[in-house]
Amino acid sequence: MIMTRAIMTDMGRCVGCGACAVACMDQNDVFPEKGGTSCRRIYQMEYADGHGAVIQYLSAGCQHCDDSPCLIACPTGAIYRDEGSRANLVDRNRCIGCHSCALACPFGVPRYDADDKMLKCNLCTGRVEAGMKPACVRACAFGALNFDDPNKFQDDKESRYANGLAGAFAKTR
Amino acid sequence: MSRITRLAAKIPGPDTGIEVKKSLCTICDPLTQCGLDVYVADGRIIKIEGSEEHPFNKGALCAKGAANRQYVYHENRIKTPLRRVGPRGSDTFEPISWDEALDVIGEGCVSAKSEYGSESVIFFSGYTKYFRPYLRRLARSFGSPNYCTESSTCFMAMAMAQKLVFGAPGGPDMANTDCLMVWSSNPYHTAHGRGAAIDRALSRGMKMIVVDPRQTPTTSRADIHLRPRPGTDGALALSMANVIIGENIYDADFVSNYTYGFEEYREYASTFTPERGEDLTGVPAAGIRAAARMFATAGRACVMPSASPVVHHTNGVQNYRAVFMLAALTGNYDVKGGNFVEPPSYLYVSGKMKTQEEEFENPKPLSEMAARIGNDRLPVWMEVANGEAQAMLIPEQLRTGKPYPLKCLIGFGMNYRMWPDSEGFLKSWQNLDLIVNTDIFMTDTCRQSDIVLPACTSLERSELRCHAMGYVQLSSAAIEPLYESRSDVDIVFDLAKRLCPDDPLFKQGYRACVDWILSPSGLTVDELERNPGGMFLKNPIMPPERKYKNGARTPSGKIEFKSKILEKYGERPGFESLPVYTPPKYSPEAAPEMAKEYPFILNTGSRLPMFIHSRVNHLSWIHSLRSNHPAADINPEDAKSLNIAQNDDLRISTPFGSIEVKANPTEMVMKGVVHMFHGWGSADVNQLFEWDYLDPISGFPGYKSSLCKIERIGGARR
């Protein structure tokens, strides 16, 4: 049995370098000059508050929701859930380019290629089945992208927090 | 899983016929290269990944490295050797054979030698760097002192500053330090392996001070971020010294036993109170005090320098001397956790092994040759740089023919836009009889050349690299060279047959030369070839601490707060023996009249994560991260006050020229500064500099601070 795993973005580690986006295009033979788009996109957000600015980077991609609005909205059944990986995948042959998924997705994920077929992250299911990491995760230098059980990710995060809190408390004694 | 699915997912294996070959990325060249896993099917690359076993990149890549497949197969590759048929710069070439091309070059160099002397032939290396030992030997064996590289604008001035202070440069021992002071570098965007190493050190409790006018992922991880105005680093370092000496938290034992000139330095630094430091640099006095205290009292501390930002100023070497002196002042030189000295092994890297690279590179002493380019103007470069000519002085010597004429320019990866007043440099090429450029792509510099040679990428050949962690790699070719392209090393060896046919080592071929260079290490080409992904050294050399106790490699034999080398030229402005702070030549402080019309500080070439010089500007994967329309980064408040919005057309002007670019307001940039990335053909920012806007000691261009104005094109926005 394959454990449910997801690509988790650690916002504290992402530096907006774009390696994940390029690795995705290399893996999936996506070429922007032919109308293709990477399934990971990089955002640099800036918040100025008078005391200086905070710059936050984010590598964004499909969340592969359990209760997927895109899947529900798709009139042809082109979007389906892969039983093993629990990834939401697109059957290009069934996609009619109606953009219903675009209307439904709250995250703005679906994109359309030169043939107006929906293009999105497939969670590198072929790679994962062969024991490899998704291409974007593999490229990330800073551990900003992780492919794991979401609970494992939360365990790590909580233990980092616990360490910091316990350490700070210990110093006060 | 079916074979079809595995093929689509590019899974290696006998069923798919996909093989993984070990290679190295040299799109950028920080000297510690990333290992590559190259997925090859039917002789064609289908996918690139970082090698997980490689100790520097540990499986990861940056955006540029991940784009290697597009780089290798880009349509702009040069396919055959080319000879110019129309006038220079007309971009009319005919394909010729390798023999014909090499013969033309050989005859051109030999005839220049007989008429004007060997020194009339310049050998230049831009990127990459792996072939440099061989190119330098070619120059020397031919008899030319004029071997030079892109180190004329990068790295060397930083090394000179360290050599003037310490004698032997020391690198930051990040694994063992308690406090890392990153002085103007952002490895998270330029050398991700180093960024990841900082992350690891921070998680074990290392403190970090970052000095950088910009706001970056490195500054956001810092305990203290100091944001000086560009070019004021020296004043900032002297103010920190003022605090460290004034509060008596310096290493008195080290200073009294192992340094020279402390009393004069102390007296000079005493004038740089943190309040004066704040005036000069814009960094709050409280921040200067806090950083000084942290650096001096955190335990072991070290300075992580950068290759060019601090030394791309007209006061660059003096500024960096003042910075490195903080490591001396606190006794953090050549100790574990400080700026530790390891002797260089190969290609500038201290790889914990011994080679005879230096002996290989110098078959004849420079003293038997004419003076190098830049000799009269840059005596300190001639004394402490590593034997190269200073390429920034080529344009002047071409124009004047003094002290001797220059006739041939043999370039590898040469880009004329590296020079200030780049178009002026190009005009001076009319005085050359032969211009050769070797490159992977048909660049603008190739279009201005007489002979163009096609080099292959690092994935199509082998190269030798060593790494600081005691790892050495002789990479293998993942695919055969495309078209008629060849490895730069093969080109050098074929030129050697024509330029120095009697050279005893060149005659034995490349493999024999690598074996000869490696012989003190006990390694051989055969052994390395059996480990194409690289290998750890069996017996890495770990040098002892505090080697300066036996005498530092300076004229005084001590660490020098007051330079005995600079003392010899004390009457020349900028050559003061103390680390005297002078504002950049074109700055609001030094040129107030100019600043009235040109109120912004122009800072060029600060790194962005997706670019490295102009090397990947032509790749669509890279454009998808940042448009290939050149854009200037400006502060949002400045943008607002000038009524400039995102992607507006913008003109950047200096008294020497102007360029038109897009506007990109971002908080990364401090108020009053304009950051413009370099190397764009359609907006070459280096045209906005005079050819001699140079640091007097190193000859480095002052690219990181001049003055400019910016205006929105198309009138006021309604």
Which residue segment(s) compose the domain that B385 sits in? 89-153+346-536
pLDDT at res. B310: 97
Stretch (H or E) spanning B425: helix B422-428
Residues in chain A closer than 8 A to B57 (CB atoms): 141
CA dist B409 → B230, B513, B541 (Å)? 34, 25, 39
Same domain as B462, residue B606: no
Q: Which of B696, B709, B710, B708 is nearest to B313 (CA)?
A: B696
DSSP B105: H
Same domain as B210, residue B334: yes
Same domain as B514, residue B384: yes
Stretch (H or E) spanning A168: helix A150-172
Same domain as B375, residue B305: no
pLDDT at res. B75: 97
State which of B26, B45, B72 marks the end of a domain. Answer: B72
Nearest residue of B to residue A12, measured between CA atoms = B221
Q: What tokens does B488 get?
A: 């730069």
Residues in chain A closer than 8 A to B226 (CB atoms): none
Tell if the CB–CB gap between A21 and B625 is shorter than 8 Å: yes
Q: What tokens does A89 get?
A: 């995948």
Q: Residue ranges of the alpha helices (H) in B465-574?
A: 488-499, 510-518, 525-529, 564-567
Is the pLDDT at B444 greater than 80, yes or no? yes
Whole-number CA gyration radius for chain B: 25
Question: What is the separation, in whole angstroms, between the first and last Cα of chain B?
Answer: 61
Is the pLDDT at B212 greater than 90, yes or no? yes
**Which residue type does B576 have?**
E
CA dist B584 → B236, B590, B597 (Å)? 14, 7, 17
Q: Which of B66, B195, B622 sits opposite A139 (nearest CB)?
A: B66
Q: Nearest 5 degrees, angle CA B200-CA B201-CA B205?
A: 115
CA dihedral sign of residues B480, B486, B488, B489:
positive
Is the pLDDT at B308 greater than 50, yes or no? yes
Q: Residue ranges of the alpha helices (H) in A29-68?
A: none
In a mutational test of the B interface, the residue from A10, A11, A13, A15 whose CB has the highest number of chain B CBs within 10 Å is A15
Q: Residue ranges of the alpha helices (H) in A38-141?
A: 69-73, 100-104, 125-129, 135-139
pLDDT at res. B419: 98
Same domain as B250, residue B122: no
Query: What is the domain class of A62-120 according to CATH?
Result: alpha beta
Which pLDDT band holds residue B718 (cuts at 50, 70, 90)? low
Is B543 part of any domain?
A: no
pLDDT tens digits, A75-125: 999 999 998 888 999 999 999 999 999 999 999 999 999 899 999 999 999
As a whole number of angstroms, the distance between CA B239 and CA B98 comes to 59
Which pLDDT band holds residue A163 (cuts at 50, 70, 90)? confident
Tell me the shortest Cα–Cα distance from A76 to chain B, in angstroms.
Answer: 23
Q: Which of A54, A139, A142 sits opposite B50 (nearest CB)?
A: A139
What lies within 8 Å, CB to CB, of B673 at 6+ separation is B213, B229, B230, B600, B601, B603, B634, B635
Question: Torsion angle, CA of B495/B497/B503/B509, rounded to 10 degrees?
Answer: 90
Same domain as B498, residue B363: yes
Tell if the CB–CB gap between B1 and A139 is shorter than 8 Å: no
pLDDT at res. A1: 41
pLDDT tens digits, B633-672: 999 999 999 999 999 999 999 999 999 999 999 999 999 9
Same domain as B297, residue B197: yes
Tell if the CB–CB gap between B622 and A22 is shorter than 8 Å: yes
- Kindly list the strands in the beta sheet with B207-211, ordered across the sheet, starting from the edge strand earlier in the chain: B224-226, B207-211, B179-183, B301-304
Question: What is the separation, in whole angstroms, between the first and last Cα of chain A?
Answer: 48
Is the pLDDT at A2 greater than 50, yes or no? no
Which pLDDT band holds residue A150 (cuts at 50, 70, 90)? confident
pLDDT tens digits, B19-70: 999 999 999 987 779 999 999 999 999 999 999 999 999 999 999 999 999 9
Q: What tokens does B639 get?
A: 């943008």
pLDDT tens digits, B340-350: 999 999 999 99
Is B581 part of any domain?
A: no
Tell if the CB–CB gap between B62 and A138 is shorter than 8 Å: no
In a mutational test of the B interface, the residue from A26, A45, A163 whose CB has the highest number of chain B CBs within 10 Å is A26
Nearest residue of A to residue B60, measured between CA atoms = A139
Q: Does B287 touch chain A (CB under 8 A)?
A: no
Q: Are A132 and A138 in contact (CB under 8 A)?
A: yes
Is the pLDDT at A154 greater than 90, yes or no? no
pLDDT at res. A164: 81
pLDDT tens digits, B387-438: 999 999 999 999 999 999 999 999 999 999 999 999 999 999 999 999 999 9
Length of chain B: 718
Tell if the CB–CB gap between B50 and A16 is shorter than 8 Å: no
Q: Which of B67, B195, B625 sits opposite A141 (nearest CB)?
A: B195
- Residue B5 gets the label, from left (phi > 0), alpha (psi -120 to 50) or beta, of alpha
Q: Is B213 helix (H, G, I), strand (E, B) or coil?
A: coil
Question: Torsion angle, CA of A158/A163/A166/A168, rounded to 10 degrees?
Answer: -120
Is B278 part of any domain?
A: yes
What lies within 8 Å, CB to CB, of B668 at 6+ separation is A55, B214, B215, B216, B633, B675
Q: Does A162 touch chain B (CB under 8 A)?
A: no
Residues of chain A with CATH 3.30.70.20: 1-60+131-173, 62-120
Same domain as B68, residue B101: no
Tell if the CB–CB gap between A22 and B66 is shorter than 8 Å: yes
Question: Torsion angle, CA of B504/B505/B510/B512, rounded to 10 degrees?
Answer: 110
pLDDT at res. A109: 96
How much is the average pLDDT of B151-180?
97
Is B322 part of any domain?
A: yes
Q: Which of B340, B358, B248, B348 is nearest to B303 (CA)?
A: B340
Nearest residue of A to residue B57, measured between CA atoms = A141
Q: Is B234 helix (H, G, I), strand (E, B) or coil?
A: helix
Q: A27-31, A162-166, B127-131: which range is least confident on average?
A: A162-166
As a whole number of angstroms, the distance between CA A79 and CA A89 comes to 6
pLDDT at res. A4: 79
Length of chain A: 173
- Report strand pairing: B35-41 vs A118-119: unpaired
Q: Is A83 helix (H, G, I), strand (E, B) or coil?
A: coil
Is B547 part of any domain?
A: no
Query: What is the domain class of A1-60+131-173 according to CATH?
Result: alpha beta
Q: Which string of DSSP letters, residue by residue, matches B32-52?
A: SPPEEEEEEETTEEEEEEE-T
Which B positions 562-621 lie with beta carbon below 8 A of chain A?
Answer: 609-610, 620-621
Is B81 part of any domain?
A: no
Tell if the CB–CB gap between B48 and A37 is shorter than 8 Å: no
As a whole number of angstroms, the distance between CA B702 and CA B566 comes to 20
Stretch (H or E) spanning B298: none
SS3 content of chain A, % helix, strand, coil (to 5): 30, 20, 50
pLDDT at res. A31: 95
Express as a percent the part of chain B with pLDDT over 90.
Answer: 98
Same domain as B695, residue B645: yes
CA dihedral sign of residues B421, B426, B430, B433:
positive
Tell if the CB–CB gap between A142 and B199 is shorter than 8 Å: yes
Same domain as B64, residue B130: no
Q: HEC profile for B651-704?
A: EEEECCEEEEEEEEECCCCCCCEEEECCCCCCCCHHHHCCCCCECCCCCCECCC
As a whole number of angstroms, the distance between CA B363 and CA B132 comes to 14
Is B616 part of any domain?
A: yes
Which A positions 127-146 lie with beta carbon below 8 A of chain B?
Answer: 127, 129-130, 132, 135, 138-143
Residues in chain B closer than 8 A to A143 (CB atoms): 199
Q: How many domains does chain B have?
A: 4
What lies within 8 Å, CB to CB, of B504 at 6+ separation is none
Same domain as B519, residue B372: yes
Q: Which of B162, B568, B154 is nearest to B390 (CA)?
A: B154
Which pLDDT band holds residue B717 (cuts at 50, 70, 90)? low
Is B583 part of any domain?
A: no
Same domain as B620, residue B678: yes
Stretch (H or E) spanning B454: strand B451-454
pLDDT tens digits, B265-274: 999 999 999 9
As a whole number of angstroms, the distance between CA B283 and CA B312 comes to 20
Is the pLDDT at B587 greater than 50, yes or no? yes
Residue B472's CB is within 10 A of a number of other CB atoms, namely 26
